[in-house]
């Protein structure tokens, strides 16, 4: 017997005001006495009329009637060390400091591929775990700069759309060739939709006769399977981000992007229009005219389906918005769901370590519930507060999800 007394399930992190003054009504032994140290460090018979501060372990000793034999016990009220509603962020490594511009990152063949233009050359950097990165390799077969979009269609091929409105494909992420799978002038890929039965559809924007169309094509890439509709009003045209919501009977892609021109609620307020795609139909989800529950406009928007909610943010990392009803209405996220701040241990105090930064990409690890943010080297406010703005990779996870994973 170690003499340890504790609760198996930890109580909430903010329980200090619950356990700092606990009144113990009964503590007895068959014979002998119970003592604990007084302020001077001497043994003193325990006084149950006083409350106990259990924010720290309390030690008491039980003496036998002969006052020679004794046993010491420790009472430890265990509390969670982290707020379950907060994001816990960790710096996990760097990429390469030569990466200073915009970037695109994609998961492919159980690895990660980051693309950026360095010294007028499109380079690709590879990693198996997002912590350790190679020195980068020059891509071949493409000379159109950073792609407008890149999607891993399956385990065998990557697809990208270039600024020259061409689609390229690659089996290794390094060597590229112009693809014959999609015909026409393709300005950007939008999303990959995967149905409950494993069928896939690629969506993209095509330009024909000075008109824009939102298109879909089945995984066979047959011309007969391509469907197109004229680009709806308020549909974004570039810089797309999408996430997936899976339900029992179907799968939905939730999509945001950049609008030209911006969509305005009033002369001083612009908004992000959120779209949904169920494999057949595009739906405008946002109440664009609602001045209360709209989603504000973000530069370089990123959208995630995380812990059964949608989250969105963009360049400069000044705010996060969330939706609990699949993109219909939006509000500022819980202040605890935030980017890392300089004053560790406090909520939203001081300037965010990410604030002001651009040229980033995001990877969502849906298996372990991590959010990875990958930064290019930046000189934004480099001298301000000595914030490190070299290439970095940060990893965040909601503490409540960490608790779930730790119990598995």
User: What tens digit of pLDDT does each residue of 366-402 get?
Assistant: 999 999 999 999 865 544 555 667 899 999 999 888 7
Residue identified by tokens 């229009």 is 273
pLDDT at 15: 56
Dist. CA 20–CA 47, nearest whole Å: 16
Residue at 256 is within a domain: no
User: What tens digit of pLDDT does each residue of 175-191 get?
Assistant: 999 999 999 999 999 99
Residue at 54 is within a domain: yes
pLDDT at 157: 96
Residue at 115 is within a domain: no
Cβ atoms within 10 Å of 359's Cβ, excluding its own: 19
Sheet with strand 158-161: strands edge to edge: 149-152, 158-161, 167-170, 177-178
Residue at 390 is within a domain: no
Are the CB atoms for 101 and 361 separated by under 8 Å?
Answer: no
pLDDT at 75: 84
Is residue 316 classed as helix, strand or coil in its secondary structure?
helix
Quick one: average pLDDT of 232-245? Answer: 96
Residue at 217 is within a domain: no
Residue at 64 is within a domain: yes
Is residue 269 classed as helix, strand or coil in its secondary structure?
strand
Cβ-proximal residues to 210 (8 Å cutoff; 6+ apart), any chain: none
Quick one: average pLDDT of 228-243? Answer: 96
> Six-digit token pair at 73?
């016990």
Quick one: average pLDDT of 340-345? Answer: 67
Q: Is pLDDT larger for residue 287 or for residue 170?
A: 170
User: Where is average pLDDT lowest: 14-28, 108-122, 237-251, 254-268?
Assistant: 14-28
pLDDT at 286: 79
The model's confidence at residue 30, banded by pLDDT at 50, 70 and 90, is confident
Quick one: average pLDDT of 118-143? Answer: 97
User: Where is average pLDDT lowest: 13-27, 58-72, 279-293, 304-318?
Assistant: 13-27
Per DSSP, the residues of 159-215 read EEE-TTS-EEEESSSSB-EE-SSS-SEEEEEEEEEE-TTS-EEEEEEEEETTEEEEE
Pairing relationship of beta strands 263-266 and 370-375 according to DSSP bridges: unpaired
Quick one: average pLDDT of 45-57? Answer: 79
Residue at 100 is within a domain: no
User: What tens digit of pLDDT does each residue of 72-106 get?
Assistant: 888 888 776 667 888 999 999 999 999 999 999 99
Dist. CA 15–CA 338, nearest whole Å: 22
pLDDT at 398: 93
CA 98 → CA 91, 114, 258, 382, distances in Å?
19, 13, 27, 16
Number of domains in the chain: 1
User: What tens digit of pLDDT does each residue of 289-318 get?
Assistant: 567 789 999 999 999 999 999 999 999 999
User: What tens digit of pLDDT does each residue of 196-206 get?
Assistant: 888 999 999 99
Helix, strand, coil % in the chain, rounded to nearest 5 = 5, 40, 55
> Six-digit token pair at 299?
């530069």
User: Where is average pLDDT lowest: 34-48, 98-112, 182-196, 355-369?
Assistant: 34-48
Q: Is pLDDT larger for residue 339 or for residue 26?
A: 339
pLDDT at 16: 57
pLDDT at 343: 61
| Average pLDDT value over all residues in the chain | 88
Show the domain range for 32: 4-76
Residue at 15 is within a domain: yes
Count how many residues are written for the chain: 408
């Amino acid at each position: 017997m170690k003499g340890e007394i504790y609760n198996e399930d930890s109580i909430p992190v903010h329980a200090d005001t619950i356990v700092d003054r606990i009144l113990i009504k009964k503590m007895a032994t068959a014979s002998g006495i119970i003592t604990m140290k007084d302020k001077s460090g001497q043994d003193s018979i325990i006084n149950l009329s006083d409350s106990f501060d259990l924010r720290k372990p309390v030690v008491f000793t039980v003496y036998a009637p002969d006052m020679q034999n004794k046993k010491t016990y420790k009472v430890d009220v265990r509390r969670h060390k982290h707020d379950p509603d907060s994001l816990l962020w960790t710096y996990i490594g760097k990429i390469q400091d030569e990466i200073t511009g915009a970037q695109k990152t994609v998961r492919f063949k159980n690895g990660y591929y980051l693309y950026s233009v360095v010294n007028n050359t499109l380079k690709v950097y590879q990693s198996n775990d997002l912590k350790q990165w190679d020195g980068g390799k020059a891509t071949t077969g493409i000379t159109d700069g950073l792609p407008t979009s890149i999607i891993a269609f399956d385990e065998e091929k990557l697809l990208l759309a270039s600024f020259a409105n061409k689609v390229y494909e690659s089996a290794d992420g390094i060597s590229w060739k112009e693809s014959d799978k999609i015909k026409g002038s393709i300005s950007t890929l939008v999303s990959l939709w995967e149905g409950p039965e494993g069928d896939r559809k690629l969506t993209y924007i095509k330009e024909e006769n000075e008109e824009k169309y939102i298109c879909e094509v089945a995984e066979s890439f047959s011309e007969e399977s391509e469907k197109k509709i004229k680009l709806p009003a308020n549909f974004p045209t570039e810089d797309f981000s999408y996430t997936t919501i899976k339900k029992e009977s179907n799968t939905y892609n939730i999509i945001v992007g950049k609008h030209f021109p911006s969509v305005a609620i009033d002369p001083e307020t612009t908004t992000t229009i959120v779209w949904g795609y169920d494999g057949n139909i595009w739906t405008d989800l946002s109440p664009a005219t609602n001045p209360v529950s709209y989603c504000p406009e973000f530069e370089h928007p990123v959208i995630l389906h995380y812990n059964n909610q949608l989250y969105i943010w963009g360049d400069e990392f000044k705010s996060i918005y969330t939706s609990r009803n699949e993109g219909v209405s939006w509000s500022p996220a819980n202040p605890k769901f935030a980017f890392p701040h300089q004053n560790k241990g406090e909520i939203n105090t001081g300037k965010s370590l990410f604030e002001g930064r651009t040229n980033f990409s995001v990877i969502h690890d849906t298996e372990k519930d991590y959010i990875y943010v990958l930064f290019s080297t930046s000189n934004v406010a480099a001298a301000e507060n000595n914030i490190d703005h070299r290439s970095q990779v940060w990893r965040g996870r909601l503490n409540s999800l960490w608790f779930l994973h730790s119990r598995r």
